[in-house]
Chain A
C-alpha cells in the first residue's frame, strides 16, 4: 500500500525559504506515468496546487507561484522535496504531497499533511 509522509520545519521566518520533503513508502517513486505533487491549504481555506515532478526531474509549476518554487526528486531515497522562497504570512498553510498521473488531477494517495507557519 503506497504511503506518503511530509516532513520539515513547522515554523519559518518571513523572507526565508520553506523546505519540505515527502517520503514515499510501499512503492517506487520511479514508477512510470506518475507525477508527485505538492498541494497546500491555508487555514480555513481551499486547496491550491503548487507543482509536480516526474522521477526524471520534469516539473510543472503553478504559474502564480512559479517564481518562488523549486521541486526536486531524489530517487535513491524515494523522496521528493519542495522549496518555496521569500515566504510571507500568506504562505502559512498545511502542505500535502500526493501522487497523480501525468496531466491528470487524480491525486491519490495523499500524505497526512504538515502545517507550516510563517512568523517571526
Chain B
C-alpha cells in the first residue's frame, strides 16, 4: 500500500478533461514538491510535471499540475488516444525517502 494515494483508474472520451488526484501527508506533499510521471505500455516512466506545476520541454500544455496542502492533481485537457497510460505522482518524504503513488491507469474511451 502506497503512502501517496491515487485512484487506480480514470477514464474519459477524446477531447474531455480528466483529473487524477494524489493524496499524501504533511511530511511529503505538504512540505515538498510533487512530480508526475507518465508510463506508456512497455516503457520506462517519463517525467511529465516537475515542481508541482512545471512542464519539461516537449510536454504539451494539455498537461497541468497543481498542489494544495497535502494533495496534488494532474489535469489532462483535450484528451487524446495517445494519453492512454499509467500515471504516477511522487514526492520526497521528510523521513529521507522517495515516495510514489500507486499509479492511475487512464483509459481513453
Assess the A107–B97 pair: CB atoms within 8 A: no
- How many A residues touch B, CB cutoff 8 Å? 22
Say if the beta carbon of B91 comes within 8 Å of chain A. Answer: yes
Say if the beta carbon of B103 comes within 8 Å of chain A. Answer: yes
CA distance A47 to B95 in the complex (A): 18
Q: Which residues of A contact B44 (CB under 8 A)?
A: 96, 110-113
Choose among B45, B88, B103 the residue with the greatest number of A CB atoms under 10 Å from its CB.
B45
Cβ of B97 to closest chain A Cβ, rounded Å: 6
Given contacts A105-B32, A105-B35, A107-B90, contact A49 B99 (CB under 8 A): yes
Assess the B100–A48 pair: CB atoms within 8 A: yes
Taking a contact as CB atoms closer than 8 A, the residue among B2, B95, B98, B102 that contacts A105 in the complex is B98
Q: Which residues of B contact A49 (CB under 8 A)?
A: 97-100
Choose among A46, A105, A106, A108 the residue with the greatest number of B CB atoms under 10 Å from its CB.
A105
In B9-55, the 8 Å CB interface with A consists of 32-33, 35, 37, 43-47, 50-51
Say if the beta carbon of B109 comes within 8 Å of chain A. Answer: no
Task: Across the interface, name the chain B residue whose C-beta is closest to A102.
Answer: B92
Q: Which residues of B contact A106 (CB under 8 A)?
A: 33, 35, 47, 50-51
Assess the B95–A63 pair: CB atoms within 8 A: yes
Assess the A47–B92 pair: CB atoms within 8 A: no
Task: Across the interface, name the chain B residue whose C-beta is closest to A47.
Answer: B100
Residues of chain A touching chain B, judged by Cβ–Cβ distance below 8 Å, are 37, 39, 46-49, 52, 60, 62-63, 96, 100, 103-108, 110-113
| A and B contact pairs by CB, cutoff 8 A, 23 listed | A46-B100, A47-B88, A47-B90, A49-B97, A49-B98, A60-B96, A60-B97, A96-B44, A96-B45, A100-B98, A103-B92, A103-B96, A105-B32, A105-B90, A105-B92, A106-B33, A106-B35, A106-B50, A106-B51, A107-B45, A107-B98, A112-B44, A113-B44
Q: A104-B33, A110-B44 are in contact. List 8 more A-B contacts (CB 8 A).
A: A49-B98, A49-B99, A52-B98, A60-B97, A60-B98, A103-B32, A105-B100, A108-B47
